[in-house]
C-alpha cells in the first residue's frame, strides 16, 4: 500500500462536504481551444488539492473537470482520446438506454448541459459559507475574463436546505468507503477500498494499477466523476407515504424501509422498530452493520431498499458479485428551495440532488450500480423491480417489505434525471501535462 | 396448406445485442461464444484435465448463479477450443465478477491449452477473453424472461403449494 499523493489529487476526491455547505457547478463551452488553455493556465494555481484534507487551511475548494468532448476540443491527441473508457468517450447521454435514463429521464428532457451540447469544462466549487463560495466563483470568472470563445453555459447552485436534510427529508452522506492510503483510521463498518478504485495510478481491487489513457503524467492521481442531476418530486413522495400508511409513524416506517435508514440517518439494521437520533449522530455506530448473518432475507432492511441496493455490503457474498469491484464514492448535494412541510401538491419548482460519483472505472462502478442494482432486481431475486427512489419506474413500480409482508404498488418516478455526464478529473500533474503538451490547431 | 415464411416469422422473438457487446440477447437471456487457439500439446493436457473440470462444473456454476448452460468443446484436430454459455442479464458488466469467481476453475483447465491464457487473474487473460468473444448469428431462448433465480423461486413455490395441497388431501 502506498500513501496517496494528496497534493496532486484534486480536493473533491477526498474532502468531505462541509456542513452546512454552499456549492456551485459552473459549466463552460469551449469555442476557442487557445482560450481554454489560457483558462486552464490561470486556474492551475488556484485548484484546491486533497492535501491536508482532514484539516484544510480553507473550508472551500475549486476543482476542474472535463468531458471527453471538452478534451477533444482542447486538442488532446487522437490516440489519447481513444484510450479513455468507453463510457467517458460516448458520454452519459449516449448511454441513456443502458442507464435507464428513459421517458421523463431521457436526455432530451435534461436541463443541464452534457458533453456534446455544452459541457466541455466544469468547475466544481464547494464551501462552508456563501462568502467562501463566492470567492471561488470569482476565481472561476476571473479565469475566463476577457477570453474569447469560452461560453458560460450553465450555473447550478447547491446548498444544504434549512431542514439540514435532502428534499425527501433524509440526512444523507453518511456512508463512504475508506480509501487505503488516505490517512486516519476507518470508522466501524466503513469498508476499506484499494486506492485504485477511486484514483488512477494506484492498485485496484483486481490487483492491477488503475490506469488511464496516454502517458502516465496525464492520468496519475486523476479519476472519473459520474455527475448526475436528479429532480425530486417531493409532493409525489409525500402523497405516496400518506396513501400507503395509516399513521404518521407508519409513514415514517415506510419511508425508512424504502431508504434502509430512518430519516435521521439511523440505520434500520441497528434500530428496526423506531428512530434513534443518538445512533444516527454517532459515527462509531451509524454505519456499523452488515446484512448476511443478521438479515439475509431483508426482513429488517428490505433487500430492495435504496441503501441496500446501492451498497449491498456483505449481502451478496457467495454470489457471482464481488462487492469490492462496485464501490462508489458519493458526493451528494441538494439544489432548489424546500417544499414547505405538509404541502402535498407540486409547486412546479425545481429541486433535487446533484450527485458526484467518483470512480476510477466508470463501467464496473457507477454504470454497474446504476444498471444492475438501481434499475434491475434480479440480483436480489426481485425480477424487474427497481430502486424505490432512484430506479426507473417504466419496468416496475412496486416495492416489497417482508415485515409486514406487503407489496406497495404505484410508486412514481420520485427522482428524474435532469442531467448527467462522465467527467475526467485530472490530477495537478495531469493539468500540467495538458498545458505542456496540447497544442491547439 | 403449409404456413408461409411470413406466418412462421410471426413467432419471432425480439433479439437485440448485449449492451456494448458481445452476444445476443432475448429478454433476460444472453449468449456468448469464445473461440481460442490451442497450443501444441494442449489437446493431451485438455483430456487429462477435463474429467475433474466437468466434475466441478456444478460447484462453480452454482456459485456464479446466473448461468443456464455452459459448454466447452475442442475441435479441428486439437487446434481450437470453443466455450459457450447461456446466462442471465448483461455480459460486460459482470465479466470481471465472473472471471474473479470462476477463475480457479478455468485455471485448472486452460493454461497450456488455450493459447494466450495464463491465469484468470492476469489482465492479459481478461483481454484475451474479450478479444476472442463472438456473437451468435442466430439465437433462440425458451422462456427468455425467466432467470435462474426466477426458476429457483418458482420451484420453491411449486413445492410449497404441493405440500399445502398434500396436507389438505
Residue ranges of A 199-228 with Cβ closer than 8 A to chain B: 206-208
Domain residue extents for chain A: 6-225+427-437, 231-420
Q: Please judge whether B96 and A325 are an interchain contact, meaning their C-beta atoms are less than 8 angstroms apart.
A: yes
Q: Which of A95, A385, A36, A48 is nearest to A228 (CA)?
A: A95
> What is the pLDDT confidence band of residue A181, given thresholds at 50, 70 and 90?
confident
CA distances from B142 to A382, B27, B86 (A): 20, 10, 11
pLDDT more than 90, % of chain A: 91
Of B19, B101, B150, the CB nearest to A320: B101
- Does the residue B3 lie in any domain? no
Q: How far is CA B150 from the centre of its chain?
A: 17
- Give the pLDDT confidence score for residue A218 in this predicted structure: 98
Kindly tell me if the per-residue pLDDT of A1 is higher than 70.
Answer: no
Q: Which domain holds residue B120?
A: 15-168
> What is the pLDDT confidence band of residue A182, given thresholds at 50, 70 and 90?
confident
Quote the mean pLDDT of chain A.
Answer: 95
Q: Which of A312, A207, A369, A206 is nearest to B93 (CA)?
A: A369
CATH number for the domain that contains residue B144: 3.30.70.100
Q: Could you give the count of Cα atoms lying within 13 Å of A386 in the half-sphere of its Cβ?
A: 23
**Strand-pair category, B80-88 with B29-37:** antiparallel
> What is the pLDDT confidence band of residue A117, given thresholds at 50, 70 and 90?
very high
**Partners of residue B66 in chain A, C-beta under 8 Å:** 320, 378
- Give the pLDDT confidence score for residue A441 in this predicted structure: 67
Q: What is the ipTM of this complex?
A: 0.91
User: Higher pLDDT residue, A155 or A175?
Assistant: A155
Domain count, chain B: 1
**What is the total residue count of chain B?**
169
- Give the pLDDT confidence score for residue B34 in this predicted structure: 97
* pLDDT tens figures, A8-62: 999 999 887 888 899 999 999 999 999 999 999 999 999 999 987 777 778 899 9
d(CA A211, CA A209): 6
Of A208, A364, A383, the CB nearest to B93: A364
* pLDDT tens figures, A219-276: 999 999 999 999 999 999 999 999 999 999 999 999 999 999 999 999 999 999 999 9
Amino acid at each position: 500500500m502506498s500513501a496517496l499523493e494528496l497534493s496532486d489529487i484534486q480536493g473533491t476526491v477526498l474532502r468531505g462536504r462541509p456542513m452546512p455547505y454552499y456549492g456551485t457547478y459552473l459549466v463552460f463551452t469551449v469555442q476557442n481551444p487557445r482560450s481554454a488553455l489560457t483558462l486552464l493556465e490561470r486556474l492551475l494555481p488556484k485548484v484546491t488539492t486533497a492535501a491536508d484534507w482532514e484539516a484544510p487551511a480553507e473550508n472551500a475548494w475549486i476543482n476542474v473537470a472535463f468531458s471527453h468532448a471538452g478534451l477533444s476540443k482542447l486538442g488532446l491527441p487522437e490516440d489519447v482520446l481513444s484510450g479513455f473508457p468507453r463510457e467517458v468517450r460516448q458520454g452519459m447521454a449516449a448511454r441513456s438506454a443502458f442507464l435507464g435514463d428513459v421517458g421523463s429521464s431521457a436526455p432530451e428532457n435534461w436541463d443541464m448541459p452534457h458533453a456534446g451540447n455544452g459541457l466541455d469544462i466544469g468547475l466544481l466549487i464547494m464551501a462552508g459559507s456563501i462568502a467562501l463560495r463566492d470567492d471561488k466563483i470569482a476565481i472561476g470568472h476571473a479565469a475566463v475574463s476577457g477570453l474569447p470563445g469560452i461560453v458560460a453555459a450553465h450555473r447550478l447552485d447547491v446548498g444544504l436546505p434549512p431542514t439540514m436534510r435532502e428534499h425527501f427529508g433524509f440526512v444523507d452522506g453518511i456512508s463512504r468507503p475508506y480509501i487505503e492510503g488516505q490517512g486516519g483510521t476507518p470508522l466501524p463498518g466503513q469498508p476499506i477500498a484499494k486506492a485504485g478504485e477511486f484514483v488512477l495510478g494506484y492498485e485496484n481491487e483486481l490487483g492491477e494499477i488503475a490506469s488511464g489513457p496516454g502517458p502516465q503524467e496525464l492520468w496519475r492521481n486523476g479519476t472519473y466523476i459520474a455527475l448526475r442531476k436528479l429532480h425530486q418530486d417531493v409532493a409525489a413522495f409525500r402523497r405516496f407515504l400518506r396513501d400507503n400508511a395509516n399513521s404518521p409513524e407508519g409513514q415514517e416506517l415506510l419511508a425508512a424501509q424504502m431508504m434502509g435508514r430512518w430519516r435521521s440517518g439511523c440505520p434500520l439494521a441497528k434500530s428496526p422498530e423506531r428512530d434513534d437520533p443518538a445512533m444516527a449522530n454517532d459515527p462509531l455506530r451509524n454505519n456499523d452493520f452488515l446484512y448476511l448473518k443478521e438479515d439475509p432475507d431483508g426482513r429488517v432492511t428490505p433487500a430492495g431498499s435504496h441503501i441496500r441496493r446501492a451498497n449491498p455490503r456483505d449481502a451478496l457474498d457467495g454470489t457471482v458479485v464481488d462487492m469490492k469491484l462496485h464501490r462508489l464514492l458519493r458526493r451528494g448535494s441538494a439544489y432548489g428551495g424546500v417544499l414547505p412541510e405538509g404541502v402535498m401538491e407540486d409547486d412546479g419548482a425545481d429541486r433535487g440532488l446533484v450527485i458526484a460519483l467518483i470512480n476510477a472505472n466508470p463501467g464496473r462502478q457507477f454504470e454497474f450500480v446504476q444498471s444492475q442494482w438501481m434499475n434491475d432486481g434480479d440480483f436480489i431475486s426481485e425480477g424487474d423491480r427497481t430502486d424505490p427512489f432512484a430506479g426507473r419506474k417504466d419496468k416496475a413500480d412496486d416495492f416489497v417489505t417482508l415485515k409486514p409482508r406487503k407489496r406497495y404498488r404505484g410508486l412514481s418516478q420520485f427522482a428524474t434525471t435532469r442531467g448527467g455526464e462522465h467527467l475526467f478529473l485530472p490530477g495537478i500533474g495531469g493539468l500540467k501535462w495538458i498545458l505542456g503538451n496540447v497544442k491547439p490547431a | 396448406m403449409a404456413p408461409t415464411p411470413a406466418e412462421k416469422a410471426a413467432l419471432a422473438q425480439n433479439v437485440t445485442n448485449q449492451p456494448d457487446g458481445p452476444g445476443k440477447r432475448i429478454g433476460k437471456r444472453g449468449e456468448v461464444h469464445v473461440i481460442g487457439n490451442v497450443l501444441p500439446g494442449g489437446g493431451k493436457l485438455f483430456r487429462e484435465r477435463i474429467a475433474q473440470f466437468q466434475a466441478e462444473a456444478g460447484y462453480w456454476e452454482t456459485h456464479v448463479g446466473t448461468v443456464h448452460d455452459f459448454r466447452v468443446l475442442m475441435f479441428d484436430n486439437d487446434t481450437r477450443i470453443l466455450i459457450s454459455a447461456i446466462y442471465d442479464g448483461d455480459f460486460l458488466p459482470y465479466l470481471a465478477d465472473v472471471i474473479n469467481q470462476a477463475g480457479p476453475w478455468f485455471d485448472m483447465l486452460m493454461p497450456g491449452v488455450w493459447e494466450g491464457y495464463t491465469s484468470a487473474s492476469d489482465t492479459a487473460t481478461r483481454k484475451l477473453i474479450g478479444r476472442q468473444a463472438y456473437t451468435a448469428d442466430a439465437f433462440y431462448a425458451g422462456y427468455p424472461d425467466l432467470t435462474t433465480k426466477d426458476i429457483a423461486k418458482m420451484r420453491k413455490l411449486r413445492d410449497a403449494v404441493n405440500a399445502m395441497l398434500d396436507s389438505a388431501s
